Amino acid sequence: MPEKDLNKIDFYDDEKHFYEDFWKSRQYEHLSEISAIDKLLTGKRFKIAMDFGGGYGRLSEALLKYSDKVILVDPSTKQLDIARKKFIHSQKIDYVLLDRKDYIPAPDNSLDLILMVRVSHHVIDPTQLFKDIYRALQPGGFAIIEVASNAHFINRMKRLAKLKSPSKTPIRVGSVANGITDDTPFVNHNPNTIKNQLIEAGFKYEKKLSVSNLRSSFLKKHLKAQSLAKVEKHLQAPLATISFGPSIFILVKK
């Protein structure tokens, strides 16, 4: 039986899958990602930003703080419909249905910022996608690329116990659950590999942050998300030096 397409992401349109519900128990992670975006974009202003793979617009609101216009791009009709209702009173968001996962639906040199969060784990080889992000950005434009990391601290300790180093290639880590019969596998990437791929695509590396550093069922059970997020703000920059967290945000410039 052939292996399932690792890039298949149709489950976001599945009637049994409610992506908003997925985030109800992940308020800490959401606040952590907002904090990372603020740290990377404070002091900057953009005319046109793209939230690539932005789902129902969970992070689009954060982009509106720094952008005159946000283009929300996603392959799920269902998610875009939810976003339209969410931002029904906003004239600053456009919606684009994605039909090719390795393509940025924008003309050459037309965007000032591209945000790509919670997307890399659906893409086995992002090299072509990074080239297209570079193509679509205007000179001097920025991209924030989030990496679902296979080299976070806990994983490194586990591999060290087996006298192994973190994999430089993507690792399949599981499947989307929530009652979906046609599961879609996830992969984690090595942040250094992603960084090198971005540089090979032509980007200048600017900065990285370690995000969701306190992701722990124990901590989340005993402490409020807002309390964890306050501590998180102070950890993202220093822990980035060792790529500590399960999520790494990389800022690059064209």
pLDDT per residue as tens digits for the range 43-94: 999 999 999 999 999 999 999 999 999 999 999 999 999 999 999 999 999 9
- Is 242 inside a domain boundary? yes
End-to-end CA distance of the chain: 43
**Is 30 among the domain residues?**
yes
Query: For residue 5, is it within any domain?
Result: no
Cα 64 from Cα 92, distance rounded (Å): 8
- All residue ranges of the chain with pLDDT < 50 are 1-8, 177-182
pLDDT of residue 160: 78
Say if 40 falls within a structural domain.
Answer: yes
Enclosing domain of residue 154: 10-253
pLDDT, residue 6, reads: 37
For residues 215 and 238, give the distance between their C-alpha atoms in angstroms, rounded to a whole number: 17
Number of domains making up the chain: 1
Domain membership of residue 3 (yes or no) is no
The CATH number assigned to the domain holding 48 equals 3.40.50.150
The per-type count for the chain, helices as H runs and strands as E runs, is 9, 9
Residue 56: inside a domain, yes or no? yes
In a domain, 77, yes or no: yes
Task: Calculate the CA 201 to chain-centre distance.
Answer: 18
Residue with tokens 């822990």: 239
Q: Are strands 247-253 and 204-211 parallel, antiparallel or unpaired?
A: antiparallel
118, 53 Cβ separation under 8 angstroms = yes
Within a domain: residue 4? no
Distance (Å, whole) CA 35 – CA 137 = 24
Rounded to an integer, what distance in angstroms lies between the CA atom of residue 64 and that of residue 45? 10
